[in-house]
Amino acid sequence: MHFLNYWVYRNYKSDVANGAAFHYNSNQPRFHSKIELGETLWLVTGLRSNERMQYFLAARFVIRAKTHNPPNYKYGRFRLWADTQLSDYYVIGEADMTDVLLSLKFVPENPIKEGGVTIANSLQTFRYLSASDVALLEQWSKRLTPDVNIMKMVPELDVEETYERGKDALKDTLQMELPQLSDERKQEIVSGYRRNRTLVKRLNDMYIGRCQICAFDPITVYRVSAATAHHIHYLSRGGHDVLENLVLICPNHHAVIHGDDAVFDYESKKFMFSNGRQEPLVIKQHL
Ligand SMILES: [Zn+2]
Ligand SMILES: [Zn+2]
């Protein structure tokens, strides 16, 4: 199935400026219960220009994972993750799609009425698209320019490695690799450097250097400290330097999580891999 939803421009914009590429957060439980992996979500946003609203296709997401955000996450409880290879963001402002939206039928049939409630309001509800609607949107999306700046993803391991090399290296990497991030966001990541060191030490003290997934315990067994801190929501994709966004894991788990781009579900406290494998945290006092 294909679905259509409205992305409030302000939220879309802050997502992009924070680096939350290929995520869609919401508070609608139906997003989790109705959308299956591999299905498509079309996201439309609206901008006011000269006293009237114009509507634009913001993204077409092919869903690869569904997770829960931490409790009280400000953009909603539910998170959909789009497949970065199969999904697209489009440059906003190229072509007003009001007429396309008004010609969509939906399932069950319930076209948007002109006048009365705004298009934006009538798209706030969860809508299934018919086959002809999908054909129309696909045709429409072909004339749009994919937004390469948003879709450019820097491997998080590069950011983590640059983190190790210090503030200036990090500034350069962010400037070159993630042009879509706002200056404030770049500043936040760079100035988080010192705080991050403190948080990593707290995690190491709390778990005595063990892996939270497999409990590998290099300190007891080898008297060697080997665990690494991992940002659950990548810094390069909108994550923050707070304790609830960090886990302490062994280098093997760190490598496979990044290699697979595995996601973490805050409700079940499991890492979810793309082949369906799920690995729970076996020690998790701080989450
Ligand atoms: Zn491990
Ligand atoms: Zn990591």
Return the closest-CA partner of residue 80 out of 129, 21, 133: 21
Out of 126-135, 193-202, 216-225, 241-250, pick the least confident: 193-202
Q: Where in the chain are the domains?
A: 2-151, 156-280
Q: How many CA atoms lie within 13 A of 203 on its CB side?
A: 29
pLDDT of 96 reads: 95
Return the closest-CA partner of residue 43 out of 105, 101, 110: 101
What's the full length of the chain, in residues? Answer: 287
pLDDT of 7 reads: 93
Q: How far is the CA of 255 from the centre of ligand 1 (A)?
A: 10
Q: How far is the CA of 160 from the centre of ligand 2 (A)?
A: 7
Q: How far is the CA of 222 from the centre of ligand 1 (A)?
A: 15
Tens digits of per-residue pLDDT, 51-67? 889 999 999 999 999 99
Q: How far is the CA of 121 from the centre of ligand 2 (A)?
A: 39
- Range 105-114 average pLDDT: 91
Categorize the per-residue pLDDT at 189 as very low, low, confident or very high, splitting at 50, 70 and 90: confident
Q: How far is the CA of 212 from the centre of ligand 1 (A)?
A: 7
Tokens standing for 132? 């002809």
Q: How far is the CA of 223 from the centre of ligand 2 (A)?
A: 23
Tens digits of per-residue pLDDT, 117-126? 788 888 888 8
Q: How far is the CA of 63 from the centre of ligand 2 (A)?
A: 22
pLDDT of 194 reads: 65
**155: pLDDT strictly greater than 90:** no
**Which residue shows structure tokens 């697209």?**
88
pLDDT of 19 reads: 81
CATH fold of the domain at 2-151: ph1033 like fold (3.10.590)
Return the closest-CA partner of residue 40 out of 99, 103, 110, 88: 88
**Environment of ion ligand 1 (residues, CB < 5 A):** 211, 213-214, 216, 250, 253
Average pLDDT, the chain: 90
**115: pLDDT strictly greater than 90:** no
Q: How far is the CA of 248 from the centre of ligand 2 (A)?
A: 9
Q: How far is the CA of 75 from the centre of ligand 2 (A)?
A: 23
Categorize the per-residue pLDDT at 43 as very low, low, confident or very high, splitting at 50, 70 and 90: very high
Q: How far is the CA of 148 from the centre of ligand 2 (A)?
A: 24
Cα distance between residue 113 and residue 118, in whole Å: 9
Tens digits of per-residue pLDDT, 69-92? 998 888 899 999 999 999 999 999
**193: pLDDT strictly greater than 70:** no
Q: How far is the CA of 230 from the centre of ligand 1 (A)?
A: 12
Out of 161-175, 193-207, 251-265, pick the least confident: 161-175
Q: How far is the CA of 146 from the centre of ligand 2 (A)?
A: 28
**164: pLDDT strictly greater than 90:** no
C-beta atoms surrounding 203 within 10 Å: 22
Measure Cα distances from 136 to 105, 133, 143, 147, 253 in Å.
Answer: 11, 5, 12, 20, 44
Most confident of 26-30, 129-133, 175-179: 129-133
Residue of higher predicted confidence among 19 and 215: 215
- Range 238-246 average pLDDT: 90
Rounded to the nearest 10 degrees, what angle do helices 156-165 and 167-177 cross at?
A: 150
Cα distance between residue 147 and residue 165, in whole Å: 30
Cα distance between residue 277 and residue 85, in whole Å: 21
Cα distance between residue 186 and residue 180, in whole Å: 10
**272: pLDDT strictly greater than 90:** yes
**If DSSP states are collapsed to H, E and C, what string results for the chain?**
CEEEEECCHHHHHHHHHHCCCCEEEECCHHHHHHCCCCCEEEEEEEEEECCEEEEEEEEEEEEEEEEECCCCCCCCCEEEEECCCCCEEECCCCCCCHHHHHHCCCECCCCCCCCCCCHHHHCCCCEECCHHHHHHHHHHHHCCCECHHHHCCCCHHHHHHHHHHCHHHHHHHHHHHCCCCCHHHHHHHHHHHHHHHHHHHHHHHHHCCCCCCCCCCHHHHHCCCCCEEEECCCHHHCCCCCHHHEEEECHHHHHHHHHHCCEEECCCCEEECCCCCEEECCCCCCC
Out of 98-102, 155-159, 180-184, 240-244, pick the least confident: 155-159
pLDDT of 116 reads: 64
Q: How far is the CA of 235 from the centre of ligand 2 (A)?
A: 9
Q: How far is the CA of 220 from the centre of ligand 1 (A)?
A: 15
Categorize the per-residue pLDDT at 260 as very low, low, confident or very high, splitting at 50, 70 and 90: very high
